[in-house]
């Protein structure tokens, strides 16, 4: 199960796992983009992670065809970079609802069943901004620090049930996330860094890292992974 799978890192994760032979449940608000990926053994659902019932319906559709969810990749997210005092408070709500509530909704939907089966893996996509807050990352960085905190908490409780919780923190990555940056000053700073790194890392490297971590024995939990371009010094 991969959220935010219509583009960028999420779409690349879908391609990599499909190539490895896994059946897929793909979620995104743009369902047409999921179908355009053209991947076999795939259930595509136009679902909004902010809406718990929408998530549950998608999971039911996927499990009806492929059985229980063994892997959740919580990838859906937006950036909305800006200074807190310059930012429209409605953007705070978007960041919190997608980057925090969306993660919680999906974890809550699959975790009890994973614990009951004593098998499963949750991969939460965070950010290097979840480790250090950079300029214009005021609220966005806060949401990603939350992802780290909740992952740590759930990991500790899930371990006794043989369920793995992993956190992946990509640096600047070639994806569509820049389209969610609406503040001109924030975009100028971010794009300058991106250009210096020739666009950042390719999303396929993030996807391959997740595949590697998932394919480790269930008794091995690669708890945290950070990936950046070599040119990214932070």
Angstrom distance (rounded) from CA 38 to CA 101: 29
Q: What is the pLDDT of residue 187?
A: 80
- Residue 67, both tokens: 């059985």
Please give the model's pTM, rounded to 2 decimal places. Answer: 0.93
Angstrom distance (rounded) from CA 157 to CA 150: 11
Q: Among residues of the chain, what percentage have pLDDT more than 70?
A: 98
Angstrom distance (rounded) from CA 158 to CA 182: 38
Which residue reads 């076999």 in tokens? 40
Q: What is the pLDDT of residue 132?
A: 87
- Residue 137, both tokens: 């990352």
Number of Cβ within a 10 Å radius of residue 233: 9
- Per-residue pLDDT of 149-198, as tens digits, reads 999 999 999 999 999 999 999 998 887 666 778 788 888 876 787 778 77
Q: What is the pLDDT of residue 181?
A: 83
Backbone dihedral angles phi then psi of residue 7, each to the nearest 5 degrees: -165, 170
Taking residues 143-149, report their average pLDDT.
98
State the catalytic residues: 140
Angle between helices 102-117 and 52-66 (to 10 degrees): 40
- Residue 165, both tokens: 């919780």
Cβ partners under 8 Å of residue 211, min gap 6: 13, 16, 17, 20
HEC readout, 128-161: HHHCCCCCCEHHHHHHHHHHHHHHHHHHHHHHHH
CB 47 within 8 A of CB 55: yes
Which residue reads 């708890």 in tokens? 223
- Residue 232 pLDDT > 90: no
Structural domains in the chain? 2-225 (3.40.50.720)
| Mean pLDDT estimate for the chain | 94
- Per-residue pLDDT of 10-56, as tens digits, reads 999 999 999 999 999 999 999 999 999 999 999 999 999 999 999 99
Taking residues 114-135, report their average pLDDT.
95
């Amino acid at each position: 199960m991969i959220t935010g799978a219509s583009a960028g890192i999420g779409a690349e994760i879908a391609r990599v796992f499909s190539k490895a032979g896994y059946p897929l449940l793909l979620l995104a608000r743009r369902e047409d983009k999921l179908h355009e990926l053209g991947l076999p053994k795939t259930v595509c659902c136009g679902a909004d992670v902010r809406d718990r019932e929408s998530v549950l319906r998608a999971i039911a559709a996927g499990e009806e065809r492929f059985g229980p969810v063994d892997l959740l990749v919580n990838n859906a997210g937006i950036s909305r970079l800006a200074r807190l005092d310059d930012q429209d408070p409605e953007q705070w709500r978007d960041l919190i609802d997608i980057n925090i509530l969306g993660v919680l909704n999906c974890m809550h939907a699959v975790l009890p069943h994973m614990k009951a089966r004593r098998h499963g893996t949750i991969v939460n996509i965070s950010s290097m901004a979840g480790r250090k807050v950079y300029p214009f990352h005021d609220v966005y960085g806060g949401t990603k620090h939350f992802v780290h905190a909740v992952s740590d908490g759930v990991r500790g409780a899930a371990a006794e049930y043989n369920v793995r919780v992993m956190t992946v923190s990509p640096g600047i990555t070639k994806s569509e996330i820049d389209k969610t940056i609406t503040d001109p000053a924030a975009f100028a700073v971010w794009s300058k860094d991106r250009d210096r790194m020739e666009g950042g890392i390719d999303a396929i490297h993030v996807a391959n890292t997740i595949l590697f971590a998932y394919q480790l024995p269930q008794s091995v939990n690669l708890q945290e992974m950070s990936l950046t371009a070599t040119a990214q010094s932070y």
